[in-house]
Structure 1
Amino acid sequence: MNLKELETLDLSSNSLAMEIPIDIGNLSKIIRLDLSCNNFNGTILSSIQNLTKLEALSLENNLLIGEIPSWLFNIKGLKSLLLGGNHLTWNNNAKIMPKFMLSELSMNSCGLVRKIPQWLAEMEVEFVILSNNRFTGSLSPYLFDSQNLIALSLSQNNFHGELPSNIGNATKIGVLMLDENNFSGKVPESVTNIKSLHLLDLSNNKFSSNTSPNFSSNENLSIIDLSSNEFSGEISTKFPYGTISLSLGKNKFSSNLSRKLTNMRKLKYLDIHDNKITHELPNSISQISTLQILILRNNSLKG
């Protein structure tokens, strides 16, 4: 704590078990403070707000408790705020008017409830990780008007309703994880406008339709999980040539398997269990030489 010129302090991924030292606020020139992946306990100390030059704060994956302090949102230069994986709670009565412009926010497993705050939807954050909370309501269309959003994880919450039709406006998204919620209705066709998308996880929701978006032009999309929904009709063949993993299990797909599935010449994992697939398994499936895992159980295949 006597290193007054220190600008970066990274103690991450150790076995430090203690409260965060109160005099850490004396390191007035700190720009990046990373205490993640330890066993720090206690609360987020108020002395951290004295670090007025702070741009990146990571306290992820510790044993911290108590409320997420509202003063964190007054650190004007803060660009990265990572608090997930603690035992923190959120004061839903606090009126937050952030003074910063974040590029990275992780608050997974923080017991957050109600709707995503409007200020976050309008902030143009690049990385938003809010999984394993208790958020409810529908998603704000403002969230997808961002031209900066790269990764969005809202897994394991209680969101419901249809996805905003403008989801495809966020054209830079590479990772979109909306699994384990209560979303319903069709997946908007505009999602195919996100050409940078490489991982799409919509599993464990209530999406339903007998047609799915045409992903065949999404060349970067390699991991697709639509399992545990209420999709019906024939299994689409409109997936990218470069698909590596395709999970369609626990839906209501019917009819026979199309020979066009062999167009996915990089496919390693194909799961269509617990559907209503009938007829014989086409011999053409053996043409997918890259296939390593094939799960067909609980269908009505013959022959």
Structure 2
Amino acid sequence: MISNNLLSGEISPLICNLQSLVYLDLTSNNLVGMIPSCLGSFSRSLQFLRLANNKLSGNIPETYVKGNSLQFIDVGSNRLHGPLPRQLINCRMLEFLDVSNNHFNDSFPFWLESLPKLKVISLRNNKFHGPIMCPSKCIFLKLHIIDLSHNEFSGNLSSEIVKNFRLMTSDPVQFKDDLYRFQQSSVDISLFLFPMFNKGGVMDYLGRQYLHEMVAIDVSCNKISGKIPDMMGSLNSLVVLNLSNNMFTGTIPSSLGKLSNLEVLDLSFNSLSGNIPQQLTELTFLDFFNVSFNNLSGPIPEDRQFSTFEENSFEGNKGLCGIQLVKKCEDHPKPPLPTPDGDQDSESGSFFELYWMVIVIGYGGGIIAGIALGNAFSGDVFRLFKIKF
């Protein structure tokens, strides 16, 4: 491990002569040039490849030997470009993939679903484009965190793609067990920075104690349109959901009130209309809520923690009224909560269109990862994954 030094120059291909190398960490140096193509195929022993925060350019290795042991790949914050190589499907042990803050230009890499252990995907701040979809059914069996923010994804977010995030509908205990296993390994989990967004900047979200329950989707700052799928309410392990800075229309699904573990919900800067569902007051762990700059109307719910959210969570909606705003409500009855028979309402049509999706999770060997969820006006202020050993 020779990270956080002043190394400069290019990475020598001679490094591939180290056939028994298990851990290669060259992060946060001043390395330039291309990544040696042999790094993907020179050894079956290499488990950790960390080259983030340098000035590397060109493509990432396109050849990965079958039967390799790669579990962690982080090439974030460089100058890399091109498509993601499909030969990554040979990395059957891969759990963590971070290519954020580069210049990759590709469509949604649906084929990553074939990796049986993949838990974290960060594509943030690149030039990925097109719809977030699979040509046929795809299932991300182990996914905990996905960050697709700050790209050029477009089209609708289908209920089908939401269904495919299987683990997010699982019992959170399963996720905790995975991370407990990571903690017992040789690398200490020592940092969990979870910035959360706010108008005009970034503030720290004190959620470090919830590392073991972290499940997140961030698709913010894209061009996703259509309705938020009602199916989103079935992802009952979600802790963070960021759909901000897209082109979502329709109403806020009342089904989001079923996300009992949710702590962060950002729907700001879209074209959502209708009322704020009274069902959202059931989100008793919700610490951050933002629906600013939409076309919402009616009274802001006053129950439970909703009375603690400030004006900037609701500004930019001319039709809203409430105790948080200059415009107070007059003679607006509260929308009734659903009866046991009828849990859905007219807002329950479609389900979730990705603008923010993102998710990071610390991987194997006890790695710790941080996730940053961004607002359109603070895109370059934060970095989704911060890993410290």
TM-score (ref. length: structure 2)? 0.64
Contact 1:15 1:39 in 2 (8 A): yes
Instruction: Answer yes or no: is 1:103 the counterpart of 2:83.
Output: no
For the residue of structure 1 that corresponds to 2:14, the secondary structure is helix
Which sits farther off after the overlay, 223-232 or 119-128? 119-128
Aligned counterpart for 1:231 among listed residues 233, 248, 272: 272
Code of the aligned partner of 1:19: E
Contiguous gaps of at least 5 residues in structure 2: 169-214, 331-389
Aligned counterpart for 1:243 among listed residues 278, 282, 286: 286
Alignment RMSD, CA only?
2.7
Structure 2: distance between partners of 1:118 and 1:217: 27
Give how far 1:66 is off.
Answer: 1.4
Aligned counterpart for 2:144 among listed residues 140, 150, 159: 150
Give how far 1:300 is off.
Answer: 4.8
Structure 1 residues 268 and 13: CA distance shift in structure 2, 3 A: farther
Structure 2: distance between partners of 1:168 and 1:91: 26
Aligned counterpart for 1:216 among listed residues 257, 268, 271: 257
Number of the residue aligned with 1:19 = 10
What does 1:146-185 correspond to in 2, within 5 Å? Answer: 146-166=140-160, 167-173=162-168, 174-185=215-226
Structure 1 residues 73 and 272: CA distance shift in structure 2, 3 A: farther
Structure 1 residues 248 and 127: CA distance shift in structure 2, 3 A: same
Structure 1 residues 95 and 165: CA distance shift in structure 2, 3 A: closer
For the residue of structure 2 that corresponds to 1:60, the secondary structure is coil
Can you list the C-alpha shifts for 1:97-130, whole angstroms capped at 9, x where unaligned?
7322221111112322231234224334211101
Contact 2:232 2:255 in 1 (8 A): no
Number of the residue aligned with 2:198 = none
Aligned counterpart for 1:120 among listed residues 92, 112, 125: 112
Which sits farther off after the overlay, 241-250 or 59-68? 59-68
Number of the residue aligned with 1:28 = 19
**How many residues are treated as equivalent by the alignment?**
277
**What's the % identity of the aligned pairs?**
27
Give how far 1:144 is off.
Answer: 6.4
Instruction: Answer yes or no: is 1:138 the counterpart of 2:147.
Output: no
Structure 1 residues 46 and 147: CA distance shift in structure 2, 3 A: closer
Structure 2: distance between partners of 1:218 and 1:99: 35
Structure 1 residues 207 and 143: CA distance shift in structure 2, 3 A: farther
Which sits farther off after the overlay, 207-216 or 99-108? 207-216
Number of the residue aligned with 2:315 = 273
Q: Which protein, 1 or 2, shows the higher relative CO under an 8 Å CA cutoff with sep ≥ 6?
A: 2
Can you list the C-alpha shifts for 1:143-178, whole angstroms capped at 9, x where unaligned?
862220011000011111111213144243411000
Structure 1: distance between partners of 2:137 and 2:79: 26
Code of the aligned partner of 2:44: T
Give how far 1:75 is off.
Answer: 7.0
| Bigger radius of gyration among the two | 1
Structure 1: distance between partners of 2:65 and 2:260: 38
Structure 1 residues 211 and 88: CA distance shift in structure 2, 3 A: closer
Per residue, is there more helix in 1 or in 2? 2
